[in-house]
Amino acid sequence: MENLKQAVLWEAAAEKKVQCKLCNWRCLIADGKLGQCCVRRNIDGTLYSLNYDKVCSANPDPIEKKPLFHFQPGTRSFSIATMGCNFRCEFCQNWQISQAAIENGQIDGEPIKPEQIVEGAVQSGCKSIAYTYTEPTIFMELCNDCGRLAKQRGLTNVFVSNGFMTREAIDFASDWLNGINVDLKAFSEDYYKQLCKARLQPVLDTISYIARHTNIWLEITTLLVPGENDSEEELKKLAGFIVTKAGPDVPWHISRFHPQYKYLDSVPTPLESLERAYDIGRAAGLHYVYLGNVPGAKSESTFCYKCGRTLIERIGYRIVANDIKDSRCPDCGTEIAGFEL
Ligand code: SF4
C-alpha cells in the first residue's frame, strides 16, 4: 500500500465503486478490481496508480524520434515510460512493456522519483521530457509530477499518445504539456475495434479538441498497414480530417509498418503505398507530410509549402541543416508553424 500513489481524475460512485476519468473507457471499477489498463486499482473505494514509481524505460532520444519534427528540432528529449496501456494493438512495437500488465499482471520498473527524472534530463542536456513508448495517459500521475518540476527547470514536456484520453485529462495536463504526437491509426471504427480493441471517435475528438482549444503543439502519426488502412479512400478521409479539424499546419507522419507481436502474417508497407499516401496528404492541402521508417527518403525533410525550398534537412533522426529564420522561410518569408523552430 505504502508504494501506491493515489490516482488523479476519478470520482467515487455507489457501493465503493470508483469511476476513472483519465481515458475514454471511463471504467467503473468495483472495490478491489482493476481498470481496463490493469495499472489502476480500486482499493477500498479509492483509486490508486500501480505504476507510479515503476519507470521501465529512460533514454535521451532525439525529439525527431517521437516523431515531433516541428518542436524544438535538433534537441534531445528525456524519454520515459512505465508499463501498461489502454489499447491492445496486435502490431504493437513495444508490446513487451505495454501489454505485460494486461497479459499477466506484470508491472516492473525502477522507483525513480520525479526529481531524479528531471535532474537526469537536465544533466543529459535534454530540452524536454517525453512520456512515450507506452501510453502516457495511464501514468498521468508521474507525468504530472515530472511535468510540473520540468516546467520549473525550464524544460518542456511532450506526450506520444494514442489520443484516447478524455477532455478532462487534456485540460489537467495543459498547464505543463507543450507538445503531443497523436497516433491516428486509421479512419474506421472496424480497424480500431478489430486490431486495437479500441474506438476511433474519441481519438478524433481528442485531435479536434487539442487543435482548437489548447496551446499544445500537435503532430499526427499514422502507421500504414498493408491491406488494412492504406486504401485510397481511407487515406483521403484521414488527410481530409486532419486538414479540416486540425488544420493544414499540423504535420502528418506516415510511418512504415513492420510485422510485430501478434500481427506477423503481413509484409512491410511497400514504398509505393507510402508515396501514394504522401501525395494524398499534400493534395488534400496539408503543408507538412513526412514518411517515417524510410531512412534516406527525401520526405524526411521539411520544405517550404509555398516555394518548395528545403528548410530542415534530415537523415533519419539527424538534422543536417536547419535554415528556418525566425520561424520563416529565408527565401519567400512564409511563416513555418511549430514550437521553437
Ligand atoms: S486509465 Fe482508462 S483504462 Fe485505465 S482505469 Fe482509467 S478509464 Fe480505465
| Cell numbers for 227 | 491491406
Q: How far apart are CA 32 and CA 160, in angstroms?
A: 30
Query: Where do we find the cell 535534454?
Result: 126
Q: How confident is the model at residue 3 (pLDDT cuts 50, 70, 90)?
A: low
**CA-26 nearest atom, ligand 1:** 7
**CA-137 nearest atom, ligand 1:** 1
Query: Where do we find the cell 527565401?
Result: 331
**CA-40 nearest atom, ligand 1:** 5
Are the C-beta atoms of residues 299 and 289 closer than 8 Å to each other? yes
**CA-138 nearest atom, ligand 1:** 1
35 lines ligand 1 (CB under 6 A): yes
Write the pLDDT tens digit of every residue in 39-95. Answer: 999 999 999 999 999 999 999 999 999 999 999 999 999 999 999 999 988 888 888
Write the pLDDT tens digit of every residue in 101-124. Answer: 888 888 889 999 999 999 999 999
Q: How far apart are CA 86 and CA 93, in angstroms?
A: 15
C-alpha separations of 285 from 81, 99, 236, 268 in Å: 35, 37, 11, 27
Write the pLDDT tens digit of every residue in 258-286. Answer: 887 777 777 888 999 999 999 999 999 99
Ligand 1 atom 4, closest CA: 37
Q: How many other C-beta atoms are found inside a 10 Å radius of the C-beta of residue 32?
A: 10
- H or E stretch covering 221: strand 217-224
Task: Give 219 Cα–ligand 1 centroid separation in angstroms.
Answer: 24
Ligand 1 atom 6, closest CA: 20
Task: Give 279 Cα–ligand 1 centroid separation in angstroms.
Answer: 37
Q: How far apart are CA 186 and CA 91, in angstroms?
A: 13
113 lines ligand 1 (CB under 6 A): no
To the nearest whole number, what is the mean pLDDT of the chain? Answer: 95
Sign of CA dihedral 260, 263, 268, 272: negative
